[in-house]
Amino acid sequence: MSRWPPLLLFAAFMGAAMADALARMQPVDAAVPLTDADRRTIVRDERAPIQPQPVILSAELGKDADLIIILESELQVRSVLSYEDFAAHFNHPIAVEGANLLFQRFPDWLGLVRVRYGYDSLRIVWRPGVKAAWVKGNGRHALRLKRTAELEKQTQEPEESDDPMASLHQLQARLMALSGAPSLPTQPVPTDKTDAGQVQALADLAALQEQAGMWMEALETYDKALRQKPNDPDLQKNHKRLVATHAGTLSVGTAYADNRMDGVMRQTFYGRFEQPLNNRLRLKGGLADNHIDAIDPWPVFSERVNEHFVQYQLGLIRDETDGARTILTLAARPQLGFEATHEYPAWSGSWEGKLRLRYPDENETVSLLHQGVRDQVGLARRDQWGSEWETRLFAAANRYHLSGFDNAARSYQIQESLQWRHGLGPLHLQYDFSREYPQDLRFSSKEDGSLFSPYPIPRNESHALAIGWNWESAILADAVTLSETFNRFSREHVLALSLVSGWRWADDARLNLSMDVGLTLNPRTSRPFLRLQISHDLFRF
């Protein structure tokens, strides 16, 4: 089946959505003027039209050489970046129109829109009563927010200070003034110029900003603290939670896998989304369009298989106040299945545990009347230096009941597996055990008329031991694993070297490459094998 119709349908849908958004455009409030420091360098374009427009995109270069995008209701800005220059800068004109149309189509949504092309990005953040502008940065969440809410109408906003402790006291005073509490006498602001003191002050300021409903300011404050202490687990957890609570995401990508030994080629076009419903609940979903082209590796039974199916998934995520979360997922792949996951922190958040129950096992072959349960229990501890200690126990039991057109044959299979993994920092050690009990149960006419049903005898049993090393940087995320697998009944050894490498750019876009090179040894022969899998996120909003 051709792979182009889904893409054409997707393009047609986006075109219709943009046309509908153009018809529903509403003017927005004018942005608050920028400071003098932001006006030092301005991108000007004298060719820009002079007549008022429903929506104008303006751009200025700030003191940090960041590109600031502002939406205004009329052409009363100091500078306008032309459509041609903007399109050339972002390498694609859809970056301008797509973000503009989404902002106009859904002005009351609480969310985050990101459009990324190459190393440049455009982000527009919106909230009712708030004017937002996104700053092009170097991969971090650099945000500049222009508030037009009642908070600015009731109080005079003081000049922002570079000292986080001073900003913390200013915000506390503003909140007390709004609540009607008596003002406290002016006291000198304590200062702690050490790195630890500055980071702690930024964390306290972000927590107070989030409590006051200023979540975008809190996100920027957490980002400043992470630049000073990037490996702090509490800052990373709070930053991730804040983004997940207030910012919905949409990602689209493709994956391609080629297994030369099994003769299977698979290509998948997928899309995933996650949207907060409130402070506790998030809705997630996605679909995957799969195309499989397989040739049976055994020449005697060689048969070409072309398969196409679509997988759907819909679920709810509930975040608890103590950091725990519960995930319930319904999936059709292609039959209906469910997955329940509960993750909880214990011992003041230094430990993490996970219990997972999945039906059916998505890693097993989907067949008629397939019933299976897969569960996983784990315990992990991570310290402030990034070291990790993890022990995970995995068990699975699957049963297959395949029925023919008559009552002459039945097949019954049980599969048991156990997995243990222990990691310390980038190094990990893993052991896998698997055993299968396949047996054909046939109704045959014995002399005594009894049913011929022998006890299932283990047909396959394998043991695998692997040692690996993982490392991660701002651009690369790599893992190397050396493993040895032994099948007790076939006396077969499999030596494999696995390499997984990922390249990231513009925060979320990434390209993943997985390659397995190995050698299969048995008493009769030996043969090499190669497995290759490539996947990448095209873009993520």
* Same domain flag for 144 and 225: no
Structure token pair of residue 487:
């099948």
Q: What domain range is 80 assigned to?
A: 1-148
- Report which of residues 341 and 263 the model is more confident about: 341
Q: pLDDT tens digits, residue range 16-50? A: 555 554 444 433 333 334 444 433 333 333 333 33
Q: Which of 198-202, 252-256, 349-353, 459-463 has the highest average model confidence (pLDDT)? A: 198-202
Answer whether 417's CB lies under 8 Å from 433's CB: yes
Domain annotation covers residue 250: no
* Same domain flag for 324 and 228: no
Domain annotation covers residue 303: no
> Between the CA of residue 127 and those of 97, 131, 247, 277, 410, what are the distances in Å?
20, 8, 11, 14, 61
* Same domain flag for 1 and 74: yes
What is the rounded CA–CA span in Å between residue 117 and residue 538? 9
Gap between the terminal Cα atoms of the chain: 29
Of the given ranges (12-16, 19-23, 72-76, 247-251), which has the lowest mean pLDDT? Answer: 72-76
pTM, full prediction: 0.39
What is the rounded CA–CA span in Å between residue 153 and residue 178? 11
Q: Is the pLDDT of residue 200 over 80?
A: yes
What is the rounded CA–CA span in Å between residue 363 and residue 498? 19
The pLDDT value recorded for residue 179 is 46
Partnered with residue 41 across adjacent β-strands are 61
Average pLDDT over the chain, rounded to an integer: 57
Answer whether 92's CB lies under 8 Å from 117's CB: yes
Tell which of 244, 277, 311 closes a domain. 244
> Between the CA of residue 219 and those of 141, 437, 520, what are the distances in Å?
8, 54, 51
Q: What is the mean pLDDT of residues 359-375?
A: 40
Domain annotation covers residue 200: yes
Answer whether 120's CB lies under 8 Å from 91's CB: yes
Partnered with residue 470 across adjacent β-strands are 479
Domain annotation covers residue 272: no
Give the torsion sign (CA, 345, 346, 351, 356). negative
- As for how many domains the chain has, the answer is 3
Q: Is the pLDDT of residue 131 over 60?
A: no
Domain annotation covers residue 397: yes
Q: What is the DSSP letter of 56?
A: E
* Same domain flag for 234 and 110: no
CATH number, residue 182: 1.25.40
Domain annotation covers residue 294: no
* Same domain flag for 135 and 239: no
The pLDDT value recorded for residue 281 is 84
* Same domain flag for 63 and 186: no
Q: What is the mean pLDDT of residues 179-208?
A: 62
What is the rounded CA–CA span in Å between residue 346 and residue 116? 37
* Same domain flag for 225 and 112: no
Q: Is the pLDDT of residue 316 over 80?
A: yes
Q: What is the DSSP letter of 36?
A: G
> Between the CA of residue 215 and those of 36, 123, 127, 260, 282, what are the distances in Å?
26, 16, 10, 50, 17
What's the burial of 149, exposed, middle or buried (CB within 10 Å: 0-12/13-18/19+)?
middle
Alpha-helical segments (H) within 323-462: none
What is the rounded CA–CA span in Å between residue 400 and residue 196? 58
pLDDT more than 70, % of the chain = 32
Strand residue runs (E) in 347-473: 351-359, 370-382, 388-403, 409-424, 427-442, 460-472
Answer whether 223's CB lies under 8 Å from 189's CB: no
Q: pLDDT tens digits, residue range 423-466? A: 777 788 888 887 766 544 443 334 444 444 444 455 678 888 88
State the number of CA atoms in the 13 A half-sphere of 494 facing the CB: 18
* Same domain flag for 139 and 161: no
Structure token pair of residue 161:
């200070």
> For the CA atoms of the chain, what is the radius of gyration?
29
* Same domain flag for 510 and 391: yes
* Same domain flag for 74 and 160: no
Instruction: Determine the longest span between alpha carbons in the chain, in angstroms.
Output: 103
Q: Which of 58-62, 156-160, 188-192, 307-311 has the highest average model confidence (pLDDT)? A: 307-311
Domain annotation covers residue 249: no
What is the rounded CA–CA span in Å between residue 15 and residue 245? 30
Answer whether 182's CB lies under 8 Å from 174's CB: no
Cα 147 from chain centre: 29
Q: Is the pLDDT of residue 405 over 80?
A: no
- Report which of residues 76 and 525 the model is more confident about: 525
What is the rounded CA–CA span in Å between residue 337 and residue 315? 12
What's the burial of 20, exposed, middle or buried (CB within 10 Å: 0-12/13-18/19+)?
exposed
Helix/strand/coil percent split, the chain, to 5: 20, 45, 35
DSSP 92-128: -THHHHHHHHHHHH-TT--EEEEEEETTEEEEEEEBT
193's CB contacts (< 8 A; 6+ apart) are: none
Q: pLDDT tens digits, residue range 323-340? A: 677 888 887 766 666 677
Q: Which of 169, 170, 164 is nearest to 224 (CA)?
A: 164
> Between the CA of residue 409 and those of 82, 357, 443, what are the distances in Å?
73, 32, 7
Domain annotation covers residue 310: no
What is the rounded CA–CA span in Å between residue 386 and residue 423? 12
What is the rounded CA–CA span in Å between residue 359 and residue 206? 41
* Same domain flag for 133 and 190: no
* Same domain flag for 500 and 407: yes
Answer whether 127's CB lies under 8 Å from 110's CB: yes
Tell which of 148, 179, 211 closes a domain. 148
Structure token pair of residue 508:
């979320």
- Report which of residues 513 and 377 the model is more confident about: 513
Tell which of 118, 148, 178 closes a domain. 148
CA dihedral 22, 24, 27, 31 (to 10 degrees): -70
Q: What is the DSSP letter of 491?
A: T
